[in-house]
Amino acid sequence: MKIALVGYGRMGKIIDEIALKRGHEVVARLKETPTAENLNNPDVVIEFSLPEVAFDNIKACLENKIPVICGTTGWLERKSEVEQLAVENETAFLYGSNFSLGVNLFFALNEKLAGLMKNVDEYSCQLEEIHHIHKLDAPSGTAISLAEGIIKNNDKFDAWKLEETQEKQLGIFAIRENEVPGTHSVYYRSEVDEIEIKHTAYNRNGFALGAVVAAEWIKDKKGNFTMKDVLGL
Ligand SMILES: NC(=O)C1=CN([C@@H]2O[C@H](COP(=O)(O)OP(=O)(O)OC[C@H]3O[C@@H](n4cnc5c(N)ncnc54)[C@H](OP(=O)(O)O)[C@@H]3O)[C@@H](O)[C@H]2O)C=CC1
Ligand SMILES: O=C(O)C1=N[C@H](C(=O)O)C[C@H](O)C1
């Protein structure tokens, strides 16, 4: 398969290695807005860039009818526009806040626990994420997905906010430390004990592998998808 990489930083470089190991041809490694010319006619684009440029990058690819796997976080206020573009241009779009198998299993565990806690009043809930000091957005996209999973399964909560916990509002606390690849915790605390579920990424390889697997899966599909579709979760 011919893969174009839009965004060629920490993630783009690892994705490049994994794509080549899996027998794919990387036809573009872009650090600029994609065009029909510089994309070099790929089968799929894998986009890991920056919050402020992701929308324009994705739009350019979809308008050229090229399916996009997007891992960039921090731009989701325009996600519905992107999903409409995928349908209008008869191509495919898949956003994942986190492409690792471990985190997608963690998402499912989080939703199960949220449902269990729905009828238990003794516990408060709070989220924490820890990332490297270069990360531009806060909270992480993964933490937002975790909060949304809790809200969907536990009607005690209807919103999330950065660094602030209130009645019916989940607090997400973001810590930036050294070169941490990505650690996420969900805490339930009572007056007598604490329940914690936690995912710790040792490196970025799981994110990159998941993005390439998603690219292999999305080829020749049309519409909007998530990693649940790819993994059958
Ligand atoms: N979904 C997931 O599983 C994961 C998501 N992420 C997310 O991916 C994103 C990228 O992370 P990371 O790789 O660490 O970030 P980096 O800053 O290392 O890489 C971003 C890249 O985008 C390039 N870039 C800048 N402007 C443009 C543009 N207009 N078009 C295309 N590329 C551009 C940068 O170029 P230059 O070097 O010149 O600035 C750089 O190469 C973040 O949003 C992060 O949250 C990260 C890991 C996993
Ligand atoms: O910026 C990162 O590094 C990561 N970002 C993603 C996020 O915002 O959730 C995924 C992963 O945690 C690493």
Two domains, one topology: 2-99+205-231 and 102-202: no
On whether 23 is known to bind a ligand per the annotation, the reply is no
pLDDT tier, 172 (very low <50, low <70, confident <90, very high otherwise): very high
pLDDT band for position 139 (cuts 50, 70, 90): very high
Peptide bond into 139 cis (omega under 30): yes
The catalytic position among 13, 79, 135, 221 is 135
| Domain spans in the chain, listed from the N-terminal domain onward | 2-99+205-231, 102-202
Mean pLDDT of the chain: 97
The fold for domain 102-202 equals: Dihydrodipicolinate Reductase; domain 2 (3.30.360)
The bridge status of strand 68-70 relative to strand 92-95 is: parallel
Residues 75-130 pLDDT 10s? 999 999 999 999 999 999 999 999 999 999 999 999 999 999 999 999 999 999 99
At 165 the pLDDT is 86
Q: Which residue minimizes the CA distance to atom 5 of ligand 2?
A: 140
Active site residue 65: no
pLDDT tens column, 39-81: 999 999 999 999 999 999 999 999 999 999 999 999 999 999 9
Catalytic residue (choose from 131, 156, 184, 199): 131
What's the whole-number mean pLDDT along residues 188-209? 98
Ligand 2, atom nearest to 184 Cα: 12
Give the closest residue (by CA) to ligand 1 atom 14: 10
CB atoms within 10 A of CB 3: 26
What ipTM does the predicted assembly reach? 0.99
Does CATH number 3.40.50.720 belong to domain 2-99+205-231?
Answer: yes
Q: Residue 72 — φ and ψ, nearest 5°?
A: -65, 135
100 lines ligand 2 (CB under 6 A): no
Q: In whole angstroms, how far apart are CA 11 and each of 47, 105, 126?
A: 9, 21, 28
In the chain, the percentage of residues whose pLDDT exceeds 90 is 98
CA of 14, nearest ligand number:
1
97 is in an annotated binding site: yes
pLDDT at 34 over 90: yes
What's the rounded Cα separation, in Å, for the pair 127 and 173? 6
Mean pLDDT of 131-146: 98
Cβ–ligand 2 distance for 145 under 6 Å, the answer no
Is pLDDT of 225 > 90? Answer: yes
pLDDT value for 58: 98
Write down the pLDDT at residue 162: 97
135 is catalytic: yes
